[in-house]
């Protein structure tokens, strides 16, 4: 039996693994390979099928997915509940905006508009912030940690709304980072496409890179350490997983993802103010991870798309439900329904399908795998 | 000195509101091993109910009815959303209560509407002077402190001297053993949620006394989270002491923050969280909490 695995694989037996390499492969079955490839082709082709306004929304979805993957790593894989994701998003967003900002403007800016500089910097600074928080995570477990990270959001919100030299102050805000690569604007209407088309492709590319990196991390030694800590941290410690070290790594990677997502998120709208980084944002990211399916990369992506598209869906729903109003001062209106849905969906998924959207997909897949038999 | 003492007294007034809220969190935690993030919604619901009831029945009766109705709401939430999750990880249940909080608050906010709503408390912003010291004490803080003292005394008597209180203590100590002795653990869960809901409603009323009820009132309830961490998640005295301490330190920070302008305005809002971080670095299970025993 050869150690390479792939060549010895039997046709028509996708689940028969004859080596560790094939068992741990990124796309371990041919069906997975084809379906991901086809999905990707569809995603790349979308700008030719959809109007620009929808593409902009999908670009936001892609960035949100990067952030959700990051939270998924620390909460879904390593099992450390963090309600502080909004804080790390904010750190990334402000690092990027400050580095690429106008040096002569009313807020801090260093004028380095190259995305090759500000994006890694945002990830690095946020990651360092995560490392600083990690010692708390090694001392605290479960709900204690959740409350402490919730405290981070409030402290962060205070700092960001008071430090108006950096953030422009509450209610005013500052421009986001500039999308530019060595002098080439990355998202400007040109011969190749409109701004929104390019924006979507760019964010899709970033999502692909970050998702592949996370999937690879999850199947590495580090990822296995994460899941060991999640499933039983004492047992993990006993078999030789260094808890402090791997919790620190989990927080660092997760915050770095959040930092990059925060840096990219507001380039779509171009402007942001400190009140965006509230507890609600953290709850939305938790909802993305849990509704999508904790402990899976594809689940985090699905959850991010679902939650980000939810406001749009409720607005469409208004046409079908006559008693809903689109005016914010009438009751019941779509904005209320939207907020309630975050809460209700969280409850419904946790009660009836704890594996989230990913779990629903598994059910559908298993049904058709065995069709026409029930199992 | 007068300023210092006035701040401390103000702090004890706001601190008693935190203590009531924290007691609700701790009671639920002790009974069910879950932190209920739904407390802010119950507090807001209680305060809004009082604003509607105060006209027809007067303040004290309105508070009583609102507390009972909110307790009923909490019972309903426990039955529908929390009971099916018994035996699941605490974090999952906590996230469910977070969902309940978001959903309930939207509905309650719908009842606040655009008008300014008052709880109609008899005190407003009037003060009483403490004779001989020149200290002015706001009546609403005195009212909050005394009401809290009465409620806490009643609560401790309940846990100490009644059958149900004993059952709750037994269930908190060891659920399975209590079940084996014939304690209805389901009733304990329900009662814990009901008590927490009622306490939150009273706390909400006093938090809004002298001001108005608006959608931002729920943020006050979140201050109870650092309080319970500070006092220890499973300690009732810890909740009371922590609440009063956090309230006092917050008011002192508000009084003396002009000496540290670099901290920015309204720094008192985040002092509870900073305090929590500092305490946790030294004592990971709070000041009075029991250290978790790790068994393999």
Distance from CA of B38 to the nearest CA of A (A): 11
Return the higher-pLDDT residue of A320 and A296. A296
Cβ of A147 within 8 Å of Cβ of B225? The answer is: yes
Distance from CA of B132 to the nearest CA of A (A): 40
A141 at B interface, C-beta within 8 A: yes
B10 phi and psi angles, rounded to 5 deg = -60, -40
pLDDT at B132 over 80: no
Buried b (16+ CB within 10 A) or exposed e, B143-152: bbbebbeebb
Which CATH number fits the domain that encloses residue A208? 1.10.3470
pLDDT at A161 over 80: yes
Tens of pLDDT, residues B41-97: 999 999 999 988 988 888 889 999 999 999 999 999 999 888 888 878 777 888 888
Average pLDDT, integer, range A35-60: 91
Residue A140 lies in a domain: yes
CA distance A143 to A148: 9
What is the overall mean pLDDT for chain B? 86
Cβ of A340 within 8 Å of Cβ of B107? The answer is: yes
| Chain A contacts in chain B segment 165-194 (CB below 8 A) | none
CA distance B44 to B52: 13
Report pLDDT for A8.
59
A243 at B interface, C-beta within 8 A: no
Average pLDDT, integer, range B104-117: 81
pLDDT at A2 over 50: no
Sign of dihedral through CA atoms A79, A80, A83, A87? negative
CA distance A108 to A105: 7
Cβ of B273 within 8 Å of Cβ of A343? The answer is: no
A158 at B interface, C-beta within 8 A: yes
pLDDT at A17 over 60: yes
Q: How confident is the model at residue B296 (pLDDT cuts 50, 70, 90)?
A: low
* Interstrand relation of B127-130 and A174-175 (parallel, antiparallel or unpaired): unpaired
Q: How confident is the model at residue A12 (pLDDT cuts 50, 70, 90)?
A: confident
C-alpha atoms less than 13 angstroms from C-alpha of A374 in its C-beta half-sphere: 0
From B229, which residue of chain A is nearest by alpha-carbon distance?
A144
Of B96, B228, B292, the CB nearest to A346: B96
Residue A155 lies in a domain: yes
CA distance B136 to B129: 4
pLDDT at B202 over 70: yes
Return the higher-pLDDT residue of A317 and A304. A304
pLDDT at A5 over 70: no
- Residues contacting residue A269 through CB under 8 Å, at least 6 positions apart: A176
Question: What residues of B are in contact with residue A340 (Cβ under 8 Å)?
Answer: 102-103, 106-107
Cβ of B85 within 8 Å of Cβ of A290? The answer is: no
Instruction: Provide the CA B223 distance to its chain's centre, in angstroms.
Output: 9
* Minimum mean pLDDT range among A6-10, B85-89, B108-112, B231-235: A6-10
| Chain A contacts in chain B segment 266-285 (CB below 8 A) | 266-267, 269-270, 273-274, 276-277, 280-281, 284-285
Domain covering B2-282 assigned CATH 3.40.720 in the classification: no
Of A155, A238, A347, the CB nearest to B100: A347
A344 at B interface, C-beta within 8 A: yes
What is the overall mean pLDDT for chain A? 86
Secondary structure in 3-state letters for chain A: CCCCCCCCCCCCCCCCCCCHHHHCCCCCCHHHHHHHHHHHHHHHHHHHCCCHHHHHHHHHHHHHHHHHHHHHHHHHHCCCCCCCHHHHHHHHHHHHHHHHCCCCCCCCCCCCCEHHHHHHHHHHHHHHHHHHHHHHHHHCCHHHHHHHHHHHHHHHHHHHHHCHHHHCCCCCCEECCCCEECCEECCCCECCECHHHHHHHHHHHHHHHHHHHHHHHHCCHHHHHHHHHHHCHHHHHHCCCCHHHHHHHHHHHHHHHHHHHHHHHHHHHCEECHHHCCHHHHHHHHHHHHHHCCCCHHHHHHHHHHHHHHHHHHHHHCCCCCCCECCCCCCCEHHHHHHHHHHHHHHHHHHHCCCHHHHHHHHHHHHHHHCCCCC
Q: How confident is the model at residue A1 (pLDDT cuts 50, 70, 90)?
A: very low
CB B296 within 8 A of CB A235: yes
pLDDT at B186 over 60: yes
Return the higher-pLDDT residue of A329 and B168. B168
C-alpha atoms less than 13 angstroms from C-alpha of B245 in its C-beta half-sphere: 19
- Residues contacting residue A358 through CB under 8 Å, at least 6 positions apart: A292, A293, A296, A298, A299, A302
Domain that holds residue A334: 51-370
CB A294 within 8 A of CB A76: yes
Return the higher-pLDDT residue of A82 and A188. A82
Average pLDDT, integer, range A7-16: 71
Residue A33 lies in a domain: no
**ipTM score over 0.95, yes or no:** no
| Chain A contacts in chain B segment 21-40 (CB below 8 A) | 35
Question: What residues of A are in contact with residue B253 (Cβ under 8 Å)?
Answer: none
Cβ of B103 within 8 Å of Cβ of A146? The answer is: no
A144 at B interface, C-beta within 8 A: yes
Residue A20 lies in a domain: no
CB pairs under 8 A between A and B: 121
Residue A18 lies in a domain: no
A184 phi and psi angles, rounded to 5 deg = -95, 115
Burial (CB < 10 A; 0-12, 13-18, 19+), residue A1, is: exposed
Number of independent structural domains in chain A: 1
Tens of pLDDT, residues A89-145: 999 999 999 998 888 878 888 878 888 899 999 999 999 999 988 887 777 777 788
pLDDT at A248 over 80: yes
Q: How confident is the model at residue A172 (pLDDT cuts 50, 70, 90)?
A: confident
Sign of dihedral through CA atoms A128, A77, A67, A160? negative
A111 at B interface, C-beta within 8 A: no
Q: In degrees, to the nearest 5, what angle opens at C-alpha A340 toward C-alphas A335 and A344?
A: 150
B229 at A interface, C-beta within 8 A: yes
Residue A37 lies in a domain: no
Cβ of B264 within 8 Å of Cβ of A158? The answer is: yes
Q: How confident is the model at residue A30 (pLDDT cuts 50, 70, 90)?
A: confident
Q: Where are the domains of chain B?
A: 2-282
Return the higher-pLDDT residue of A120 and A311. A120
B265 at A interface, C-beta within 8 A: yes
């Amino acid at each position: 039996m050869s150690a390479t695995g792939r060549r010895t694989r039997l046709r028509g037996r996708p689940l028969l693994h004859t080596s560790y390499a094939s068992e741990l492969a990124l796309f371990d079955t041919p069906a997975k390979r084809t379906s991901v490839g086809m999905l990707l082709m569809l995603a790349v082709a979308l700008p030719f099928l959809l109007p620009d306004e929808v593409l902009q929304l999908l670009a936001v979805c892609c960035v949100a997915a990067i952030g959700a993957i990051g939270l998924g790593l620390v909460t879904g894989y390593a099992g450390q509940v963090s309600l502080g994701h909004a804080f790390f998003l904010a750190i990334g967003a402000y690092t990027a905006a400050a580095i690429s900002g106008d040096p002569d403007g009313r807020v801090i800016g260093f004028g380095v508009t190259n995305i090759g500089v500000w994006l890694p910097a945002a990830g690095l600074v946020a990651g360092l912030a995560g490392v600083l928080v990690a010692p708390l995570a090694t001392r605290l477990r479960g709900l204690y940690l959740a409350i402490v990270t919730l405290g981070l959001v409030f402290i962060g919100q205070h700092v960001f709304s008071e430090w108006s030299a950096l953030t422009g102050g509450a209610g005013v805000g500052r421009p986001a980072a500039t999308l530019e690569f060595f002098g080439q604007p990355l998202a400007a209407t040109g011969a190749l496409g409109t701004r929104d088309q390019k924006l979507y492709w760019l964010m899709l590319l970033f999502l692909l890179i970050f998702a592949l990196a996370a999937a690879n991390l999850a199947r590495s030694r580090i990822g296995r350490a994460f899941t060991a800590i999640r499933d039983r941290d004492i047992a993990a410690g006993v078999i030789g997983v260094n808890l402090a070290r791997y919790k620190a790594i989990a927080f660092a990677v997760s915050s770095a993802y959040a930092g990059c997502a925060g840096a990219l998120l507001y380039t779509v709208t171009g402007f942001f103010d400190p009140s965006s980084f509230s507890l609600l944002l953290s709850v939305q990211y938790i909802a993305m991870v849990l509704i999508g399916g904790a402990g899976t990369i594809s689940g985090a992506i699905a959850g991010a798309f679902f939650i980000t598209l939810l406001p749009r869906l409720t607005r469409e729903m208004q046409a079908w439900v006559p008693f809903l109003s689109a005016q914010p001062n009438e009751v019941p209106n779509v904005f209320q329904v939207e907020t309630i849905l975050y809460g209700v969906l969280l409850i419904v998924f946790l009660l009836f399908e704890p594996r989230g959207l990913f779990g629903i997909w598994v059910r559908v897949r298993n049904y058709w795998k065995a069709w026409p038999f029930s199992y | 000195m007068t300023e210092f003492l006035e701040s401390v007294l103000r702090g004890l007034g706001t601190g008693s509101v935190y203590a009531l809220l924290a007691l609700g969190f701790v009671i639920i935690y002790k009974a069910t091993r879950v932190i209920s993030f739904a407390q802010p919604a119950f507090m807001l619901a209680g305060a809004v109910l009082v604003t509607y009831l105060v006209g027809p029945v007067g303040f004290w009766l309105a508070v009583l009815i609102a507390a009972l109705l909110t307790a009923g709401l909490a019972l309903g939430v426990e039955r529908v959303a929390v009971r099916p999750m018994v035996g699941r990880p605490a974090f999952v249940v906590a996230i469910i209560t977070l969902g309940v909080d978001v959903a309930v608050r939207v509905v309650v906010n719908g009842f606040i509407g655009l008008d300014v709503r008052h709880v109609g408390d008899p005190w407003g912003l009037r003060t009483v002077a403490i004779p001989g010291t020149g200290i002015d004490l706001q009546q609403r803080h005195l009212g909050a402190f005394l009401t809290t003292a009465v409620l806490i005394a009643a609560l401790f008597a309940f846990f100490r001297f009644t059958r149900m209180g004993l059952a709750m203590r037994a269930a908190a100590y060891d659920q399975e053993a209590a079940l084996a002795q014939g304690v209805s653990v389901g009733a304990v869960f329900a009662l814990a949620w009901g008590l927490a809901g009622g306490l939150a409603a009273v706390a909400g009323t006093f938090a809004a006394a002298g001001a108005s009820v608006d959608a931002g009132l729920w943020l006050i309830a979140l201050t109870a989270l650092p309080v319970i961490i500070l006092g220890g998640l499973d300690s009732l005295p810890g909740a009371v002491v922590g609440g009063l301490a956090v309230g006092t330190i917050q008011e002192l920070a508000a009084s003396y923050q002009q000496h540290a302008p670099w901290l920015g305005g309204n720094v008192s809002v985040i002092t509870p969280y900073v305090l929590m971080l500092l305490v946790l670095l030294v004592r990971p299970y709070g000041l009075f909490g029991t250290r978790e025993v790790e068994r393999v």
